[in-house]
Amino acid sequence: MNIAARLRDGSQETVANDGSGSEALEPGSQVLTPADRAGSAEAAQGVPGGSKVLTPADGAGMRPDSGFRVEKLRDGFRQAYGHEEKGPLRFFFAPGRVNLIGEHTDYTGGLVLPAALSNGTWAVVCERNDKVVHLVSEGFTPKVICDLTEEIVNTPEDGWANYPKGIIKAFLAMGAAIPGLDIYFYGDIPKGAGLSSSASLELVTAVALNTVTRAGWDRLSLVRLAQEAENGFVGVNCGIMDQFSVGLGREGAALLLNCATLAYRHIPLALGKYRLVIADSCKQRDLGESKYNERRRECEDGFRIIKRYRPELANLGELGLREWEEVKKYLPAPTADRVEHVVRENHRVLSSAAALEDGDVLTFGRLMLESHRSLRDLYEVTGPELDALYEAARKAPGCVGTRMTGAGFGGCTVSLVEEKSLTDFQKYVARDYEARTGLRPIFYPVSVGGGAREISPAGEGDQSDPNPEDSGEGGALFSGEDGGKRENKLRQTGTSGC
């Protein structure tokens, strides 16, 4: 059975939306405010403004499943719950994600190219037998208690814990037998930075519950369940990209996904002498306050008009460039600009995937620049800080591509930088960005890791294949009879020439 059919068969519940959730209520991430960051001891290592210069070696030894990490998690659990745990501990991890290209396309049924990070959220789980789940997150107090015999509701005071509560509620609705659990969460993704700390928290909870309850749901069902919990229980109207990449990411590869059909393919990230660098603008974004929902509505409005002329289209993601040129005259401003971004961004995603498969890093870098300009000028979701970071990065030593990543209005950029210039790049960007905005960026060297999974207590790597049902591989990225032809044509066309 194909993915779409399997998911249609699934019986996930959509829970009530009380609208009180917020991206700002993040989990056990290592949450630093710009002020915290500037004042921290590690923040001052030779870069103007106190930003830390990171080298590729900074990522080494930090694997999510390293023995060192597992021992720290065990200590954290013991501090949270007392030294004597009541039973064996199990350890789970779900990554954050960085979207390489394909921004604001997922909710229109378009294409995206994200990658999972080696940073993410860990959960340490111990069973209890009293039908009560205790949730503790490092750095967040107090403990949140969830009585499984009562109705689970979104409570604003529970903050970050509403994300795991939404997952617990969805599992109960599907008939899972949760015995009662002590869960300790620890995360190292900055909150509100556009790196999907919420999807990471959702998926780590989902994989843990799936394992301890032996529910046996496949990874795609967990991804769908997590997205529905965020939409329905937390109240954030996100697309499927974040949960999908967190659930199905693969080490060393990006994930090319058609968000309408859920067909996907892993694209090896052979970047040669280049590295991906994430820079946090330290301007926090908030999906609720942003224009995210307004953009979604504008795309829906645009598609409604386009449907009158192209009734065969199932979603905006199916609209090709040629068809767009024919119908764009029917759309009012600024709806036409929004749709133009979506159409061209989809082309850029396919061109990027083709370039990466060919080892053509420079073309991918050029497409990243085009993508940022389109998000700035047509989709209008960047804002002064991300634009300043973009301007600083594109002129910095060794940079061949840079763009905002995530929802926008603050958060991070991702840049493609020559390895030998990493230090100079960061120094240049920090100085230039601070001069433009008064803010100090934070840099993260990107290590592309695997999807959500259980990790072994001995720190010996994964206990199970994170993607046991990789059946989306090789599926058609475009639906419709000429889907294959369209993909091939796009591959030959190269860049979209925005």
Q: Which residues are catalytic?
A: 242
Q: Give the nearest distance from C-beta 103 to ligand GLA in angstroms.
A: 4
Q: Which amino acid is at 255?
A: L
Contacting residues for 492 by C-beta, under 8 A, at least 6 apart: none
Q: Quote the DSSP letter at residue 227.
A: H
Pick the closer one to ligand GLA by CB: 386 or 422.
386
Query: Please, what is the minimum distance in Å from the beta carbon of residue 220 to ligand GLA?
Result: 16
Between vectors from CA 198 to CA 143 and to CA 35, what angle results, nearest 5°? 80
- The structure tokens listed for 348 are 């850029």
Residues lying near ligand GLA in the complex (CB under 6 A) are found at 99, 103-104, 106-107, 238-239, 241-242, 406-407
> Between 81 and 409, whose beta carbon lies closer to ligand GLA?
409
Nearer to ligand GLA, 103 or 370 (CB): 103
Give the shortest CB-236-to-ligand GLA separation in angstroms.
Answer: 7
Kind and range of the H or E element at 140?
Answer: strand 140-147
Q: Report the phi/psi class of residue 109: left, alpha or beta, with left for phi > 0 and alpha for psi in -120 to 50.
A: left
Cβ at position 144, least distance to ligand GLA in Å: 23
SS3 sequence, 324-343?
HHHHHHHCCCCHHHHHHHHH
Helix (H) or strand (E) holding 434: helix 422-437
Q: How is 444-463 classified by DSSP, letter by letter?
A: EE--B---SEEE-TTS-SBS
Which is closer to ligand GLA, CB of 76 or CB of 166?
Answer: 166
Distance CA(135)–CA(139), nearest Å, equals 12
Nearer residue to ligand GLA within complex by CB, 271 or 407? 407
Cis peptide before 334, with omega less than 30 degrees from 0? yes
Looking at the Cβ atoms of 406 and 450, the one nearer to ligand GLA is 406
Shortest Cβ 35–ligand GLA spacing (Å): 25
In contact, 232 and 212? CB cutoff 8 Å = no
First vs last C-alpha separation in the chain: 38
d(CA 211, CA 405): 32
Given a contact cutoff of 8 angstroms between Cβ atoms, the answer to whether 258 and 421 are in contact is no
Q: Please calculate the CA angle 68-98-270 and round it to the nearest 5 degrees.
A: 85
- The CA–CA distances, whole Å, from 350 to 249, 262, 380, 483 equal 18, 15, 22, 13
Least separation, in Å, of the C-beta of 190 and ligand GLA? 14
Do the beta carbons of residue 437 and residue 428 sit within 8 Å?
no
The dihedrals phi and psi of 251, each to the nearest 5 degrees, come to -55, 130
The alpha carbon of 52 is separated from its chain's Cα centroid by a whole number of angstroms, namely 24
Closest residue by Cα to residue 185 from 411, 15, 31: 31
By beta-carbon proximity to ligand GLA, the closer residue of 106 and 298 is 106
Among 116, 146, 141, which residue's Cα sits nearest to residue 209? 146
Closest C-alpha among 216, 226, 244, 239 to residue 166: 226
Minimum distance, C-beta of residue 99 to ligand GLA, in the bound complex (Å) = 6
DSSP 3-state assignment of 240? coil
Instruction: Work out how close the CB of 110 gets to ligand GLA at its nearest, in angstroms, rounded to a whole number.
Output: 9
Question: Is 25 or 241 the residue whose CB approaches ligand GLA more closely?
Answer: 241
Q: Give the closest residue to 392 by CA, choosing from 425, 368, 367, 420.
A: 425
Q: Which is nearer to ligand GLA, 99 or 118 (CB)?
A: 99
> Quick one: tokens of 204?
């780590």
Are 336 and 324 within 8 A, CB to CB?
A: no
